[in-house]
């Protein structure tokens, strides 16, 4: 696959994450297509197969880019952790494993923004194609034969049952399949977990095909820049240790680095805001003002609750002899705390009457934890309930600060800059409080820790949110899809004004979907692969 010192392929995929691994799988299915898959991190990590392994992998340099945001909010100047997977499978190998598609309205909105082919009716076949859903579900909405195994958690737990009953007491019904006909309601979280093991795209899409002779998976390979011949992208320059290599793509290069790394690579390659790039000494290839803009994420306060009754919280079950029992449960049967989705219970709720669909998300973690420097169990028994709007309007940015691919870009979330986001965050916190104060939870002796009963006004709650809230690790939008001036890619994910180059990952989302972003990212990989194969017939 070399011509002189240049490697030659049909397709090059930069980034082996939630979308990139899917692209490598589908593009290499035809043995005539020679495919190079570049991943900046290693092949894997022992903890990446254990669902609870996210607690060991976030902030771990062997699996996580360990990004931090620009300082937030006035005097506090807090920096938030921005974990991003740096290994095969990308963030699907270090995330909390929750499987959420979002609402039909999310995708219909994309189509209405000028992205024909991205309505819910258009993307549903790709969602079905990618999954083997092991729950009951309606076959109209669920897939049964895809690479990715999706399960309902096997939990008959009194804590979750009590919360579901409490939700019913404040008017929130149980929904057994929020990825089915409608999303509203409270439910146990569906997860990319099967038989106690994490179902990352590395495991489900790459492991079965690693022996394909036409696929070269290159790990610890940092892409430094894209290569061009005038207005056509012809390949990628990447580095493995001190060895710098050029790879040529006869057909296409597709960037799948995610919402941080994709705009970073475009800017390092001279694609972005011309004036910004010139100031950094980067030769401008294409002036695209939208590169790195439109950053959106879920900004979520964690409401904290003490539980006086013993044995309900995992702060009780996951310590001492209880921890040994949990380890044995996992080793013997693939069950228990180590096989648990990060947020086992979630509710999709409406902030007010008259809305067509839920606009707020609540999620329960059956423990209190200390987040820094890395997640660990707190000494106090209790649980955590995060609460946030699902479709925030606040927009930030991600931009390179130098021409060096090793330098972290500046990640400026600009949270709560849109007034409606603050209003909806307060509404979400108040709904969480109403559930946790409902009669069904009184036997558990639940009491509020944060924000606390002394914070009662909207302004007091927002001040608490600004001081304590974190992201839910769902950055999107920095290479958004659309026909407008600030769009980076068109409806077929081709970079505007450049031939032979696409972007396919969460960065192309014009708006944030209603929930977690891993499932939609995998769908984007599936749809992108289909479009590339259609546009490049054998």
Q: Rounded CA gap, 509 and 310, in Å?
A: 44
Percentages helix, strand, coil for the chain (3-state, rounded to 5) are 30, 25, 45
DSSP code, position 70: P
522 alpha carbon, distance to own chain's centre: 10
Catalytic residue among 156, 298, 474, 496: 474
Taking each helix axis from N to C end, the angle separating 20-27 and 518-535, rounded to the nearest 10 degrees, works out to 30
Q: Rounded CA gap, 50 and 17, in Å?
A: 17
Q: Rounded CA gap, 417 and 427, in Å?
A: 17
Centre a 10 Å sphere on the Cβ of residue 373 and count the other Cβ atoms it contains.
8
Q: Per-residue DSSP letters for 169-238?
A: HTT--B-S-TTSS---EEEEPPBSEETTEE--HIIIIIGGGTT-TTEEEE-S-EEEEEEEETTEEEEEEE
Q: Tell me: cis bond preceding 45? Omega within 30 of 0 counts.
A: no
> Are the C-beta atoms of residues 462 and 424 closer than 8 Å to each other?
no
Q: Rounded CA gap, 250 and 451, in Å?
A: 57
> Does the annotation count 474 as an active-site position?
yes
For the stretch 30-44, what's the b/e string if a residue is b when 16 or more beta carbons lie within 10 angstroms of its beta carbon?
eeebbbbbbbbbebb
Which residues are known catalytic residues? 474
């Amino acid at each position: 696959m070399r011509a002189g010192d240049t490697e030659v392929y049909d397709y090059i995929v930069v980034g082996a994450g939630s979308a990139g691994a899917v692209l490598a799988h589908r593009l290499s299915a035809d043995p005539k297509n020679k495919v190079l898959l570049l991943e900046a991190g290693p092949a894997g990590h022992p903890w990446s197969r254990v669902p609870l392994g996210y607690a060991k992998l976030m902030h771990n340099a062997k699996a996580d880019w360990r990004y931090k945001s620009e300082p937030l909010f006035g005097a506090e100047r807090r920096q938030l952790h921005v974990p991003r997977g740096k290994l095969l499978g990308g963030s699907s190998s270090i995330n909390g494993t929750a499987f959420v598609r979002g609402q039909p309205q999310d995708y219909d909105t994309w189509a209405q923004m000028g992205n024909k082919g991205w309505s819910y009716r258009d993307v549903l076949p790709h969602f079905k194609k990618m999954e083997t859903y092991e729950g009951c579900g309606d076959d109209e909405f669920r897939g049964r034969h895809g690479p990715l195994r999706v399960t309902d958690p096997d939990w008959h737990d009194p804590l979750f049952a009590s919360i579901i009953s409490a939700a019913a007491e404040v008017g929130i019904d149980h929904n057994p399949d929020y990825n089915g006909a409608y999303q509203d309601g409270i439910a146990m979280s569906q997860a990319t977990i099967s038989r106690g093991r994490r179902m990352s795209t590395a495991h489900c899409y790459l492991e079965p095909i690693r022996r394909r002779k036409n696929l070269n998976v290159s790990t610890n390979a940092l892409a430094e820049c894209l290569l061009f011949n005038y207005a056509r992208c012809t390949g990628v320059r990447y580095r493995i240790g001190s060895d710098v290599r050029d790879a040529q793509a006869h057909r296409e290069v597709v960037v799948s680095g995610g919402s941080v790394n994709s705009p970073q690579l475009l800017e390092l390659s001279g694609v972005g805001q011309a004036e910004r790039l010139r100031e950094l000494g980067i030769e401008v290839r294409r002036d695209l003002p939208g590169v790195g803009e439109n950053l959106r994420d879920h900004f979520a306060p964690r409401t904290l609750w003490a539980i006086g009754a013993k044995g309900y919280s995992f702060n009780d079950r996951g310590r001492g002899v209880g921890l040994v029992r949990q380890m044995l449960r996992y080793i013997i049967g693939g069950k228990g705390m180590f096989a648990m989705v990060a947020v086992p219970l979630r509710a999709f709720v409406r902030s007010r009457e008259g809305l067509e669909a839920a606009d707020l998300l609540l999620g329960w973690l059956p423990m209190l934890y200390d987040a820094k420097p890395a997640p660990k169990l707190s000494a106090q028994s209790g649980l955590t309930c995060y609460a946030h709007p699902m479709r925030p309007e606040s927009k930030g940015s991600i931009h390179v600060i130098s021409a060096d691919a090793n330098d972290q870009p500046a990640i400026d979330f600009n949270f709560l800059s849109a007034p409606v986001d603050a209003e909806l965050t307060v509404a979400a916190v108040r709904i969480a409080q109403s559930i946790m104060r409902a009669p069904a939870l009184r036997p558990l002796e639940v009491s509020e820790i944060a924000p606390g009963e002394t914070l009662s006004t909207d302004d007091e709650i927002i001040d608490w949110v600004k001081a304590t809230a974190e992201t839910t690790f769902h950055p999107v939008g920095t290479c958004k899809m659309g026909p407008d001036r600030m769009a980076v890619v068109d409806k077929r994910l081709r970079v505007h004004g450049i031939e032979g180059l696409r972007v396919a990952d969460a960065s192309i989302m014009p708006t944030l979907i209603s929930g977690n972003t891993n499932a939609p990212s995998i769908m984007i990989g599936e749809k992108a692969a289909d479009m590339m194969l259609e546009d490049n017939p054998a």
